[in-house]
Copies of this chain bind each other. A is one copy, B any other.
Amino acid sequence: MESETDTRWLTAEEQCAWRTHLEVNRLLTHQLERDLQPFGLTMNDYEILVNLSEAEGRRLRMSDLAAATLQSKSRLSHQITRMENAGLVRRENCESDRRGLFAVLTDQGLETMRKVAPHHVASVRRHFLGLLSPESLHSLSSALTPIADHLRTHRTRP
Contact = CB atoms under 8 A, between A and B. Distances in A.
Contacts of A117: 7
Interface string A14-40: 101110110111111111001000000
- Stoichiometry, copies per complex: 2
A21 B147 contact: no
Contact of A121 (B9, B20, B131): B9
Contacts of A145: 20
Interface of A: 2, 4, 7-10, 13-14, 16-18, 20-21, 23-31, 34, 70, 114-115, 117-118, 121-122, 124-125, 127-129, 131-132, 136-148, 150-152, 154-158
B146 A10 contact: no
Contacts of A139: 136, 139-140, 143
Contact of A118 (B7, B21, B27): B7
